[in-house]
Amino acid sequence: MKKNILMIGIGLIGSSIALSIKETTKNAIIVGFSHNEKELFGAKSHQIIDKINLNLEKAAQEADVIFLCTPVSVTLKLIQELSTFSLKESVIITDVGSTKVEIMNQAQVLLDKGYTFIGGHPMAGSHKSGFLAGNKDLFENAYYILVPTGNEMNEQMTCLTDLLTGTRAKIVILDAYEHDQITGILSHMPHIIAAQLVQQADDLMVQNPISKKLAAGGFRDITRIASSDPKMWTDISKSNAVILEKEIDNWLVKLSDFKDILKSDKEVEIFNFFERSKKVRDEIPVHKEGTIPGFHDLYINVPDYPGAIAEVTAILAKVNISLINIKIMETRDDIFGILRISFKNEKDLFLAKEAVAKHTPYESVIN
Higher per-residue pLDDT: 339 or 192: 192
- CATH number, domain containing residue 116: 3.40.50.720
Model confidence at 337, in pLDDT bands (50, 70, 90)?
A: low
- Quick one: average pLDDT of 247-276? 94
Cβ count within 10 A of residue 262: 12
Domain that holds residue 257: 179-282
Query: Which residues neighbour 117 within 8 Å (Cβ) at sequence distance 6 or greater?
Result: 79, 93, 94, 104, 107, 110, 111, 149, 151, 152
Q: Taking 80 as the threshold, does the pLDDT of residue 4 lie above it?
A: yes
Last residue of a domain, one of 282, 313, 337: 282
Which of 86-90, 138-142, 166-170, 282-286 shows the lowest mean pLDDT across its residues?
282-286
My answer on whether 150 and 28 are in the same domain is yes
Regarding whether 267 and 227 lie in a shared domain, the answer is: yes
If asked whether residues 244 and 274 sit together in one domain, one would say yes
pLDDT of residue 128: 66
Average pLDDT of the chain to the nearest whole number: 87
Mean pLDDT of 318-329: 78
pLDDT surpasses 50 at 302 = yes
The rounded percent of the chain whose pLDDT value lies above 70 is: 92
CA–CA separation, 362 vs 42, rounded Å?
Answer: 44
Overall average pLDDT of the 200-225 stretch: 82
Measured distance CA(16)–CA(131) in Å, rounded: 8
In this prediction the pTM is 0.76
* Same domain flag for 42 and 132: yes
Please state the rounded mean pLDDT for residues 181-198. 92
Which one has a higher pLDDT value, 328 or 245?
245
Are residues 189 and 160 part of one domain? no
Q: Place 217 in a pLDDT band, splitting at 50, 70 and 90.
A: low
Q: What is the pLDDT of residue 309?
A: 81
Mean pLDDT of 212-234: 81
pLDDT, tens digit (0-9, with 9 covering 90-100), for 116-150: 999 999 988 765 678 788 888 888 878 899 999 98
In the chain the first and final C-alpha atoms are separated, in Å, by 48
Same domain, 155 and 196: no
Give the end of a domain, one of 282, 317, 333.
282
Tens digit of each residue's pLDDT (9 = 90 or more) over 59-87: 999 999 999 999 999 999 999 999 999 99
**Is 330 a domain residue?**
yes
Quote the number of domains for the chain.
3
Give pLDDT, residue 331: 42
| Same domain, yes or no: 270 and 315 | no
Binning pLDDT at 50, 70 and 90, where does residue 311 land?
confident
**Cα gap 337→327, rounded to integer Å:** 11
In a shared domain, residues 10 and 67: yes
Which of 209-241 are b and which e, b meaning 16 or more Cβ less than 10 Å from the residue's Cβ?
Answer: eeeeebbebebbbebebbebeeeebebbbebbe
